[in-house]
Amino acid sequence: MRKWLTRSIFAYFIYGLLVYWYLFVFSDTGIPAPYIGTQADPETFMTGREQLLSQEYSTIRNFLYLVTVPFEWFLLFVFLITGLSRKTQEWSQATSRFSFLQSAVYFFWLSLFISFLSLPVNLIGYKISTTYHITTQSFPAWMKDQLIDFWVNYLLMATIIIVVFWLIRRFEKKWWLYAWFLSIPFSMFLMFVQPVLIDPLYNDFTPLKNKELETKILELADKADIPAEHVYEVNMSEKTNALNAYVTGIGSNSRIVLWDTTLNRLNDDEILFIMAHEMAHYVKKHIYVGIAGYLLLSLFGLFFIHLLMKFCINRFGSLLKIHSMKELTAFPLFLLLLGILTFASNPLSNTVARYQEKSADMYAIEMTNNHEAAISSFQELSKAGLSQVNPPTLIKIFRYTHPTMLERIIYLEEHGKGNVEK
């Protein structure tokens, strides 16, 4: 056990050094020569201080992301290899003779272990965001959100673990297929209830107060044949200075939401472009394409997890203190493999998402025909969030669900020039 712990700590340390070298030494985030002086060049819309802060903040946040993703995997590995998982299984079995209660108790202690050891890392991220004036949230309010996160994630994951391990015990060879079938209605249910049950736990949502702007947005929605009756605003200025707008939910529970920071910082034309972009996702059915893609990936993912769990238990069962896939003590291995496969699939899912986002941008510019407002909205988004205009390649591949600001502004500029030439 000590040998494997030492190896994993050493590997994690080397990985951290490589990430630091890549982000702080190797990566070139400057603007390519052909685009210097264009509207995509930060020097044309950011002050020197804003450029410096953007580079510092983005690099630090990217470093934290890349080093914290495997940190949770490391904690799950420690939970297994030290025997904590087996001891927790024994405690949970002693509390009740009902397997679903045993699963709930087991996962509570596992969640508490992961959350407690991850809290210092999350706190570092919070402190960095407040230092760079991205986060405006007080520490008590931030802790409140952390507690809400814990209980929401616990209830959702406890439900999953109860069902998954019931399936494994009943259908050891085909559990992954039955779990996938059940994930379809479960995913749809979550998307349906999220806007009305989960999101309000964190923020207050109200109909847009600016009725003149709401009228313009609803006219835009009518132009796109979208049956929208309300636009919502959310009081995010209590938590952040960043800007955002999004569409959430499905069916009758779908909502178009604007952060109040966006309302405060962008003018009406810029907001209309952002809204047209969000409406494009509805018109082009990107939400349903995303659901279909997620379900397809999850089918293969669950199958691979099944194969990998069998291999790991057969090969390393004594080291991980796992005797059978049917045991609760195998659940950290399930989460570990799920995390690794999810991270490995990010390049594919992000590529599809970036294609959809570009498609939404082009739909929005065709609808509004206001290139100046479109470009200035992206410039303001970069300034407010201290975002890198041209991030490192690996960051784009693994983190970016949207095209980079460099790409978005350049293709809007080219589209505008094309219209002028016509």
Long-range contacts of 159-164 (CB under 8 A, 24+ apart): 161/103, 161/106, 161/107, 161/328, 161/331, 162/99, 162/100, 162/103, 162/104, 164/334
Is 281 annotated in a binding site? The answer is: yes
Place of tokens 């992961």: 114
What are the φ/ψ torsions at residue 421 (nearest 5 degrees)? -65, -35
> In angstroms, rounded to a whole number, what is the distance separating the alpha carbons of residues 96 and 105?
9
Query: Is residue 367 within 8 Å of residue 269, measured between CB atoms?
Result: no
The residue type of 220 is L
The residue type of 253 is N
Report the first-to-last Cα separation within the chain, whole angstroms: 70
Does the active-site annotation cover 361?
A: yes
Query: Is residue 257 within 8 Å of residue 245, measured between CB atoms?
Result: yes
- Nearest 5°: CA angle at 287, between 286 and 289? 60
DSSP for residue 135: B
Place of tokens 């931030």: 142
Structure tokens at 348: 């594919």
Q: Which listed residue (214, 327, 361, 407) is catalytic?
A: 361
Does the active-site annotation cover 380?
A: no
Long-range contacts of 119-123 (CB under 8 A, 24+ apart): 119/146, 121/64, 121/68, 121/71, 122/146
Is 357 annotated in a binding site? The answer is: yes
Q: Which listed residue (233, 278, 327, 407) is catalytic?
A: 278
Q: What contacts 86, CB < 8 A, 6 or more positions away?
A: 321, 329
> In angstroms, rounded to a whole number, what is the distance separating the alpha carbons of residues 144 and 202?
9
Query: Is residue 385 within 8 Å of residue 242, measured between CB atoms?
Result: yes
> In angstroms, rounded to a whole number, what is the distance separating the alpha carbons of residues 174 and 307?
11
The residue type of 403 is P
Strands 232-234 and 255-259: parallel
Strands 245-248 and 205-207: unpaired
Annotated binding site for Zn(2+): 277, 281, 357
Annotated binding site: 277, 281, 357
Residues belonging to the active site: 278, 361
